Amino acid sequence: MTLITDTEPAQSTRRANTESPLLDVLAERWSPRSYDKTAVISEAVLTTVLEAARWAPSASNMQPARFIVARRGSASFAKINDALLGFNKAWADTASVLIVNVAKLAIDETRDNPWARYDLGQAVAHLTIQAQSEGLHTHQMGGFDGEAIATAFNLTDDQAVVTVTALGVLGSADDLTPELREREVAPRSRLPLAELLLVND
Ligand SMILES: Cc1cc2nc3c(=O)[nH]c(=O)nc-3n(C[C@H](O)[C@H](O)[C@H](O)COP(=O)(O)O)c2cc1C
């Protein structure tokens, strides 16, 4: 069993080949599908990772991000894993924690928060970077049955299931199926920065 208790440098061999120098945690973050299925994340580290999400900025400081946090072996973990779709089912259960990222959509009974999903994404981004700095890895997923998750956790209409994040300790690509292994070791790529800049005056 691997117990992550203290801050450790990320052990990543897939550092981004960036056009400009980035912070190590940004350049070294990537989304693995192989996790150490015996690793247990300490409660202190898990709380720190969630704290990063709590302190993300949000429109008018409305803080619409909500999370369902499920440790491997719990009933909640099984419910989330059951709701994953396609090939996500083949790897995500090796993560130490599955987190359902939920956006609170309403400001009050008459007004929706148009930035709820944006702010949730921002909170998740902060979580992923804090996790990276703790020596952990994350993998966000859109492939799941949101209705099944909403039902399993009695969510209200105001609580939208947006993504699921796998959080864990990096495992070996060799533990994956051949198809997933190929993706795990494939070169990482991005569009050129110039293509992202609609205007760069
Ligand atoms: C909103 C969102 C949904 C995603 N859905 C899935 C998914 O269902 N399954 C999966 O294996 N990866 C999923 N990914 C991971 C992306 O494929 C991955 O982030 C992208 O290829 C870039 O790779 P990197 O994170 O390693 O840099 C998702 C990522 C995001 C942000």
Distance, CA 138 to ligand 1 centroid (Å)? 10
Q: d(Cα 31, Cα 10) in Å, to the nearest integer? A: 13
User: Which atom of ligand 1 lies at the shortest distance from residue 32's CA?
Assistant: 26
Mean pLDDT of the chain: 94
pTM of the model: 0.94
Residue 140 Cβ contacting ligand 1 at under 6 Å: yes
List the one residue out of 126, 59, 60, 62 whose CA is nearest residue 99.
Answer: 126
Distance, in Å, from the CA atom of 23 to the CA atom of 37, rounded to the nearest integer, reads 29
Report which residue type is found at 92.
A
- In angstroms, the Cα distances linking 55 to 114, 151, 169 are 20, 29, 23
Domains of the chain, residue spans: 41-46+79-186
Q: How far is the CA of 114 from the centre of ligand 1 (A)?
A: 24
Q: How far is CA 99 from CA 42, 66, 81, 115, 126, in A?
A: 15, 10, 10, 21, 14
Ligand 1 atom 12: the closest Cα is on which residue? 141
Burial of 18 (0-12, 13-18, 19+ CB in 10 A): exposed
Q: Which CATH superfamily is domain 41-46+79-186 in?
A: NADH Oxidase (3.40.109.10)
Q: 1-5, 79-83, 105-109, 115-119: which has the minimum mean pLDDT?
A: 1-5
Tokens coding 21: 């120098």
Q: What percent of the chain has pLDDT over 90?
A: 94
User: Residue 92 phi/psi, 5° resolution?
Assistant: -65, -20
| Ligand 1 neighbourhood includes 143 CB (under 6 angstroms) | yes
Residue 182 vs residues 33, 170, 174, 186, 191: alpha-carbon distances, Å: 11, 16, 10, 6, 21
The CA distance from 188 to 98, in Å, is: 24
141 lines ligand 1 (CB under 6 A): yes
Q: Is residue 200 over pLDDT 50?
A: yes
Is pLDDT above 80 for 6? no
How much is the pLDDT for 3? 54
